Amino acid sequence: MRTIAGRMKGGHWALAREEYEAVCQALDAGHLIVYPTDTLYGLGCDPFEAPAVERVFEVKRRPADQPIALALTSRNQIPRYAHVTPLAQRIIAKHLPGPVTILLRATSQAPPPLVSSTGLIGVRVSDHPVAIAITKAFGPITTTSANLHGGPSPATCDAARDQLGEAVDLYIDCGPTRHGKESTIVDLTGDSINVIREGALRRGDL
């Protein structure tokens, strides 16, 4: 188990180039990482590697029927992995990057381990420079709160480490997260907004 400490650079959190290389190497090897987002600390792995995704479920003790979401670098990548409806396009333009997870119909290019039994995938574009840089360097990764299922929300790296311990190979510590609570989950597969979970973004602000 290794911890990388981020540093503030120009008012934003950042890692050194060799540290991003270490993160990519861990992900390439099928390992799990804990990394900062704008909402909570997330648990990440290569979403196209089924054994790694299975390990995420095992480490979190998360029920298998509750899929985890896909973290992307920018909102422009979403159409590759999900069918974007006109309503979704408006919400994406308004709120991403930001504290929202959007449920949409998965495309054929979506990572199979993250697609639900009903053909949906959750997509997320975090407004955190380190999370964005990791996905830019490696590609899409999983995003789900770095805690035990039903456990306290991990707004700090220490809170995540206290719950997941040595089951995670690499922790990235960038201090407390901005929002300190879960993302808001919104189903936008239809013609209306269906809020599945209200989190950092209030229902009325959508």
Q: Per-residue pLDDT tens for 23-51?
A: 999 999 999 999 999 999 999 999 999 99
pLDDT surpasses 90 at 171: yes
The whole-model pTM stands at 0.96
62 within 8 A of 145, measured Cβ to Cβ: no
User: Which of 17, 56, 40, 35 is closest to 178 using CA atoms?
Assistant: 40
Output phi, psi for 67, to 5 deg: -60, 155
Name the pLDDT band for 1 (thresholds 50, 70, 90): confident
Indicate if the pLDDT at residue 180 is higher than 90. Answer: yes
Is the per-residue pLDDT at 165 higher than 90?
A: yes
Residue for token digits 């987002």?
Answer: 37
Q: List the domains of the chain with CATH numbers.
A: 2-205 (3.90.870.10)
Q: What pLDDT digit, counting tens, does each position of 83-99 carry?
A: 999 999 999 999 999 99
Q: What is the pLDDT of residue 59?
A: 97
3-state SS, the chain, equals CEEEECEEECCEEECCHHHHHHHHHHHHCCCCEEEECCCCEEEECCCCCHHHHHHHHHHHCCCCCCCCEEECCCHHHHHHHEECCHHHHHHHHHHCCCCEEEEEEECCCCCHHHCCCCCEEEEECCCCHHHHHHHHHHCCEEECECCCCCCCCCCCHHHHHHHHHHHCCEEEECCCCCCCCCCEEEECCCCCCEEEECCCCCHHHC
Identify the pLDDT of residue 37.
98
> pLDDT at position 204, please?
87
The whole-chain average pLDDT of the chain stands at 96
- Summarised one tens digit per residue, pLDDT across range 122-150 is 999 999 999 999 999 999 999 999 999 99
pLDDT greater at residue 123 or residue 206: 123
The whole-number pLDDT of residue 176 equals 97
Cα(57)–Cα(42) distance, rounded to whole angstroms? 13
Which tokens go with 79? Answer: 């159409």
